[in-house]
Amino acid sequence: MIAKGSAPLVLSPLVATAGCMAAAVLLEIPAFLLPGLPLGLVFLFLLVFFRDPERVPGRGLVSAADGRVLEADPSACRVTVFMGLTNVHVNRAPTDGRIARMTHTPGGHAPAYAPRARANERLETVLETALGPVRLVQVAGTIARRIVPFREEGDRVKKGQRIGMIRFGSRVEMTLPKGVRLVVRVGDRVRAGETTVAEVSRVLAR
C-alpha cells in the first residue's frame, strides 16, 4: 500500500521510464533507453519510501512513528523517535482520542537527529484522550520539507490510525499523560501503531 496522496509522486518516474522505452522502440533510437535505468531506480526508491503497511496495534500507548528512539524521558513522559530514509514515514495515533488542536510552526531544517531540530518546521497535534492530553510534534528534517496531515481539528481517531506523514528524514516527539510508565529506551527500534512505548496503570485505565 502507498501512503495517502503519494501515488502521483511515486508513479511519475515509472511513467517517464515507460515513455523512454516506448520512444526507443517506436523511433528506433536506443539512446532513449539510457534515462530508463536511473528513472527506474528512482521509482523503486519512492515505492519503498512511501510504503504504508497495515499494522496491528500493540497494548498500552503505541509509537507514533517508525524508527529509532532518540529520547525516552520518564520524568517528562516524553519519547522522541527519529525516522531515517528507510523507515515508513506514515505517523499513527498512540491511543484513541479527539484532535483538539493542530498548530503549524515555520522553522529551520537542521538534521532531525540533532537537539537543535526542536526549532525546525513542525506540526503540533494535541489529542484529548481518556488518559489525559497526548502531544505529538512532527518535525521536518534537513531533506524533509513537507509535513502532510491526514486529519483535521475535531476528528476522532483510533489507536494506530494514520494521522499524517513527513516526507523524508524527520522525527516525531510524543509527550504522554502523567502516570504512564515508559517501556522503551534510547536506541530501541519501534514501529508506528504497533510497538508499545508506555504502559497504562489500572488506575489511569479506569
DSSP state of 3: P
Sign of CA dihedral 16, 20, 23, 26: negative
Please check whether residue 39 is in contact with residue 12, taking contact to mean a CB–CB distance below 8 angstroms.
no
- Average pLDDT value for residue range 69-94: 92
pTM: 0.77
Give catalytic residue positions. Answer: 170
* pLDDT tops 50 at residue 205: no
Kindly indicate the confidence band of residue 200, based on its pLDDT and cuts at 50, 70 and 90. confident
Domain 61-205 has CATH 2.70.70.10: yes
- The predicted-structure confidence for 47-66, as pLDDT tens digits, reads as follows 555 667 889 999 999 999 99
Phi/psi at 145 (nearest 5 deg)? -125, 5
Please report the pLDDT score of residue 84 as a whole number: 83
Q: Crossing angle, helix 7-26 and helix 36-49, to 10 degrees?
A: 160
Kindly indicate the confidence band of residue 29, based on its pLDDT and cuts at 50, 70 and 90. low
CA–CA distance from 150 to each of 116, 164, 178, 204 (Å)? Answer: 27, 5, 27, 29
- pLDDT, greater one: 6 or 164: 164
- Average pLDDT value for residue range 115-137: 89
